[in-house]
Amino acid sequence: MKSFSIFVVIYITMYMIRNNFKVALPLLKSQLGLITTDLGYIGFVFSIVYGFGKFIVGYIVDGKNTKNILSILLLLSSITVLCMGILFTMNNVPMGWIVVLWSLNGLFQCVGGPSCASVITQWTTRSHRGRYIGLWNASHNIGGGFAGIFAVWCATTFFKGQVAGMFIIPAIVAAVVAIGTFFIGKNRPEDLGWNSSEEIFGEPVEKANVDAENLTKWEIFKKYLLTNPYIWVLCVANVFVYIVRIGIDNWAPLYVTEHLNFS
């Protein structure tokens, strides 16, 4: 449970320094003079880097100590967001710097999902895995909901309503979480000298896992993923789900502020 709890906390924290940008959209326009098109470019580049990074970097880190890697990447992400916050305290903020820094944040956060799934798989058996992945998935909603409230509170309480506060304080909190989680918990039961999760819970090892023991990572990828039609169906379906989800999620704060006169 310790390692599972750590990944829930890490992912909530990642959302805290990702979704703060969405809440900051109205202030980025009113205080920094950015236009809606600028914000669209920033979000587009972030999504491209995050999407391809999730696939490429996630593949690279799989099989390594993903718990520690994720803590390190969270720290790098917090430093990037802190730099953005400091940048927002200046006059005439260069658009290029915002794009570069937010893209770096996407790169550092892209392996959050793959890393969490990898470690949960190490610590759970097939019969329990869905339950824990479902519980971990709640961190998306908890982090996403908390991010906006916390960002607004930070800006109002410490920065007199300035948009920089939505980035600086959450980044500092994220850095503390990253450092703390690096030293807590293990990547898999074997790191504690225990048996595998299947042996601990008395469940047989899945045939696919047994067959894959003598395969390279690339061979596993080709055999079980690249040529798996169900994976491709899920990928295509997920594209359309994300068009709706991200379209609404990213632009809702700006829309309700400008068109519905929400504060």
- Taking the C-alpha atoms of residue 35 and residue 42, their distance in angstroms, rounded to an integer, is 11
- Give the range with max mean pLDDT: 127-141, 174-188, 196-210: 174-188
The per-residue pLDDT for range 121-158, each reduced to its tens digit, is: 777 777 777 788 888 888 878 888 899 999 999 999 99
pLDDT tens per residue, range 25-82: 999 999 999 999 999 999 999 999 998 998 888 888 877 788 889 999 999 999 999 9
pLDDT at 237 over 70: yes
% of the chain surpassing 90 pLDDT: 44
pLDDT tens digit string along 8-28? 899 999 999 999 999 999 999
Task: Please give the residue that has the higher pLDDT: either 205 or 92.
Answer: 92
Residue 149's nearest CA partner among 261, 253, 6, 254 is: 253
CA distance 61 to 199: 25
Q: Rounded CA gap, 18 and 261, in Å?
A: 24
DSSP string for residues in 88-155 = TTSSS--HHHHHHHHHHHHHHHTTHHHHHHHHHHHHS-HHHHHHHHHHHHHHHHHHHHHHHHHHHHHH
What are the residue ranges spanned by the domains of the chain?
2-199, 206-263
pLDDT confidence of residue 82: 98
Q: Name the packing angle between helices 126-158 and 20-32 (round to 10°).
A: 30
Q: Which two tokens stand for residue 190?
A: 């074997």
**Coil, strand or helix: which one is 224?**
helix
Q: Which CATH number fits domain 2-199: 3.30.750.80, 3.90.110.10, 3.20.20.20, 1.20.1250.20?
A: 1.20.1250.20
pLDDT value at position 116?
81
State the pLDDT at residue 133.
83
Segment 222-239 shows an average pLDDT of: 87
Share of the chain above pLDDT 70, in %: 91
pLDDT band at residue 169 under the 50/70/90 scheme: very high
**Which one, of 52, 23, 17, 22, lies nearest residue 246 by Cα?**
22
CA 98-144-36 angle, to 5 degrees, is 40
